[in-house]
Amino acid sequence: MTIVLINQSIYSQKKIVGKVEFYKSNNLNDRIFQSTTDVELEKINSNNHSIKVIQGKVVDSTKTDDNGIFKFNFNVSNMLDIVVNENSTVLEGRFHFKPNVIIENDTLLLKISDKKIAVYKDSISAKGFYSKYNEKKALEHFKQGKRQLLAIGGEMSKLKRKEQQKLTKNHDVKFNYVLFGSLMSRAKLRILERYNSKMKELLGIKNVW
């Protein structure tokens, strides 16, 4: 009689291919609101990003290749956590997967927004303005009862004025004019747009410029 010993752990593992991909968080076509250029994004995506694969108590480290690809063996009985660029404040990404999701897929696309990069760049370019009107400030202002949207001073079209009047009436919101002429910059406009997006979310305002 021949006895064959089989290592069951071999059959409980699955080869997985992962791909890290950074993308633009702001899908507006206007270049003013895009702080990360296509060239910069391409360069970021071609970098070798550090990867930490956590399966239960087992932790493995690897890096992506120039195409953002990495590979690892997945133990089908474990939850899976993947940390990308753990030591970077602007390039970090964290992902959690249940076993059934991995079992059904051989590849994982890990998409990371460029928002942290964009916010960081704008916080340096317009430091004072950012300290007053970042997204955390929007939340703070909302909790303080300041129902406001930031606006740009100067000539205003009838349509824009009508929209503001409608928002004031329907949502009890005021407009705070914080940018004028020579004081404007692309960084400040992006900070203003993020502040307003956050405040609209908190106020329940939808489908408005």
Answer whether 175's CB lies under 8 Å from 168's CB.
Answer: yes
Mean pLDDT of the chain: 88
Tell me the DSSP string of 43-74. HHHHS--EEEEEETTEEEEEE--TTSEEEEEE
Answer whether 54's CB lies under 8 Å from 82's CB.
Answer: yes
pLDDT value for 149: 96
pLDDT value for 158: 87
pLDDT value for 88: 97
Whole-angstrom Cα distance, residue 133 to residue 183? 15
Tokens of 189: 């406009």
What pLDDT, in 10s, does the model give residues 93-137? 999 998 888 878 889 999 999 999 999 999 999 999 999 999 999
Q: Return the percentage of the chain with pLDDT > 70, whole number.
A: 89
What pLDDT, in 10s, does the model give residues 64-88? 999 999 999 998 878 899 999 999 9
Q: What is the mean pLDDT of residues 188-195?
A: 95
For the chain, which domains are there?
15-117 (2.60.40), 126-203 (no CATH)
Residue 32 half-sphere exposure toward CB, CA atoms < 13 A = 11
pLDDT value for 105: 82
pLDDT value for 29: 56
